Homo-oligomer: A and B are copies of this chain.
Amino acid sequence: MSRRDAKELKEKLLDRGVALLMEQGYHGTGLQELVQSVGVPKGSFYNYFESKEAFSAEVVAHYIEPFIKRLDAQLQRKDLGAAAALRAYFDELIEETERLDFRGGCLLGNLIGEIGDTSDLCQTSLREAVHRYRDKLREGIARAQREGGFRMDMDAKEMADLLVNFWQGALLRMKIERSVRPLTQFCDMLLNGYFKG
């Protein structure tokens, strides 16, 4: 197998890892299941990753990047202010959640709950991923403040932290209620309410 294929293979493993860890969690997902469903021999896995734990830490980083990109894409839109772009971004996520029948939620939140204080490696990876996400949100919030869409008497970073944390909580609740209600309530309360001042 050539080196180029090898890179694609690693990508495939990470992609599949996102899906499996989302569906079944860390301990619920076996390496055998992972490699078989990708078509990689079991032993080969360890050519690409040190361990299941190290693999999962990479999966976390692999998972969050597209969300940051999508958020950034909304913030780049010329037809929307930053406040409206944030709302558009979360509306997008809510719609997606509904399409997926309220399954999954956020891989970061799920893994934090399951192994957030038992795996140092994953804890670090999870913290860094959350911080990158938070920083992108802060960017949008700060611009919304300058544009007059959001209140100015709060630190943008603090607001971004509220947003991230509350969103995680709303996603958990969504999973057991099987309803978008917690998510829309989140938007109404923060983006359309508290943050407007």
In the complex, the count of this chain's copies comes to: 2
Given contacts A114-B110, A167-B169, contact A161 B175 (CB under 8 A): no
Q: Is A127 an interface residue (CB 8 A)?
A: yes
Residue of B nearest to A169 (CB): B169
Check B165–A170 contact: CB distance below 8 A: yes
Q: Is A168 an interface residue (CB 8 A)?
A: yes
Query: Which of the segments A3-11, A20-28, A46-54, A73-81 contacts the partner chain?
Result: A20-28
Q: Looking at the assembled complex, report how far the CB atom of A63 sits from the nearest CB atom of chain B, in whole angstroms.
A: 14
Given contacts A104-B117, A115-B25, contact A165 B166 (CB under 8 A): yes
Residue in B23, B123, B161, B182 whose CB lies within 8 Å of A165: B182
Q: How far is the CA of A62 from the CA of B114 in the complex (A)?
A: 19
Within 8 Å CB of A168, what residues of B?
A: 168-169, 172-173
Q: Is A31 an interface residue (CB 8 A)?
A: no
Task: Count contacts on A: residues with CB < 8 A to the other chain.
Answer: 44
Name the residue among A26, A103, A176 with the largest chain B CB count within 10 angstroms. A176
Contact with B along A145-159 (1 / 0, CB 8 A): 000000000000010
Within 8 Å CB of A161, what residues of B?
A: 173, 182, 185
Given contacts A165-B182, A177-B127, A189-B162, contact A172 B116 (CB under 8 A): yes
Residue of B nearest to A158 (CB): B185
Q: Is A194 an interface residue (CB 8 A)?
A: yes
Within 8 A of B (CB), among A97-139: 102-105, 109-118, 123, 126-127, 130
Q: How far is the CA of A76 from the CA of B101 in the complex (A)?
A: 41
Residue of B nearest to A165 (CB): B169
Q: How far is the CA of A38 from the CA of B123 in the complex (A)?
A: 30
Interface residues of chain A, those whose CB is within 8 Å of chain B, are: 23-28, 102-105, 109-118, 123, 126-127, 130, 158, 161-162, 164-170, 172-173, 175-177, 182, 185-186, 189, 194
